[in-house]
């Protein structure tokens, strides 16, 4: 009814205004990032053996829930990949990054407030262990971003129904494969939320974020090289 009245008055519908469209996208990104980071942090804090499955599952359902509105990034590295691939512009990318990181930080503290504090010491990686963890994050963040671009943005797969499963299972596979090495983060928002509540050292955080953003940019470049006609 509101849309009818708006059209009759000659004014644009609220949902068609640029700021309203952008606001919906940022809200969806914040919600998805929050539940992803909260699930990961709560699973780790409660010593769950099923953290990889929980992370992959919540990412999958949040992508299906909000992918039609924002693209379902929930990850600054994926947003970087979409930016380099040419799917979004710098302004939208910056808004997504703010929404994702703020939501991740809030989610980390929410998980800490709800779950009993972790008693294990914060890992301070150095030397070979830090190198191995950083490379693990680089490789699987690249895999995640590469999968996202191919199943969710490629013109060769329009309207497929499996994109959420493919993306969620990529995260689960990576967490199972290298979770014992790096923690299986693959996402700067997850890194920020978990580091802020003491699950990682801040020195580790910076290595992870650089590796993850580089991986996202690399995935975007690789997609463009392999799909030169997909603009």
pLDDT tens-digit profile of 35-81?
Answer: 999 999 999 998 889 999 999 999 999 999 998 898 899 999 999 99
**pLDDT value, residue 1:** 31
Write down the residue that tokens 């995935």 correspond to: 219
**Mean pLDDT, to the nearest integer, of 20-32?**
91
**pLDDT value, residue 121:** 57
**Mean pLDDT, to the nearest integer, of 160-183?**
94
Half-sphere exposure of 149 (CA within 13 A, CB side): 33
- Who's near 223: CB < 8 A, 6+ residues apart? 81, 85, 146, 149, 150, 153, 230
What crossing angle do the helices spanning 188-196 and 18-45 adopt, rounded to 10°?
50
pLDDT at 22 exceeding the cut of 70: yes
pLDDT at 5 exceeding the cut of 60: no
State the CB neighbour count (10 A cutoff) for residue 82: 26
**Mean pLDDT, to the nearest integer, of 158-168?**
90
First vs last C-alpha separation in the chain? 38
- Who's near 171: CB < 8 A, 6+ residues apart? 52, 55, 56, 59, 144, 184, 186
**pLDDT value, residue 16:** 57
pLDDT at 120 exceeding the cut of 60: no
Which 8-state DSSP code applies to residue 75?
S
Percent of all residues in the chain with a pLDDT value above 90, rounded to a whole number: 71
Confidence of residue 123 (pLDDT cuts 50, 70, 90): low
pLDDT tens-digit profile of 128-156?
Answer: 888 999 999 999 999 999 999 999 999 88
pLDDT tens-digit profile of 192-215?
Answer: 999 999 889 898 999 999 999 999
Confidence of residue 86 (pLDDT cuts 50, 70, 90): very high
C-alpha span between 224 and 2 (Å, rounded): 42
pTM of the model: 0.89
């Amino acid at each position: 009814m509101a849309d009818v009245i708006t059209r009759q008055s000659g004014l644009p519908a609220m949902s068609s205004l640029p700021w309203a469209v952008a606001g919906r996208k940022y809200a969806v990104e914040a919600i998805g990032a929050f539940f992803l980071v909260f699930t990961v942090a709560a699973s780790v804090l409660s010593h769950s053996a099923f953290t990889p499955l929980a992370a992959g599952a919540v990412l999958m359902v949040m992508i299906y829930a909000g992918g039609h509105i924002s693209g379902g990034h929930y990850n600054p590295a994926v947003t970087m990949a979409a930016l380099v691939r040419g799917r979004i512009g710098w302004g939208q990318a910056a808004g997504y990054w703010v929404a994702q990181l703020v939501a991740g930080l809030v989610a980390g503290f929410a998980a800490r407030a709800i779950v009993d504090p972790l008693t294990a010491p914060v890992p301070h990686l150095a030397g070979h262990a830090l190198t191995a963890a950083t490379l693990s994050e680089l490789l699987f963040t690249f895999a995640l971003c590469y999968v996202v671009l191919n199943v969710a943005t490629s013109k060769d797969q329009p309207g497929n129904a499996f994109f959420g499963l493919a993306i969620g299972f990529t995260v689960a596979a990576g967490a199972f494969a290298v979770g014992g090495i790096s923690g299986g983060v693959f996402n700067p928002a997850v890194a920020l939320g978990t580091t802020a509540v003491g699950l990682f050292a801040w020195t580790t955080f910076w290595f992870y974020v650089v590796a993850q953003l580089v991986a996202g940019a690399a995935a975007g470049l690789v997609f463009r090289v392999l799909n030169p006609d997909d603009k």
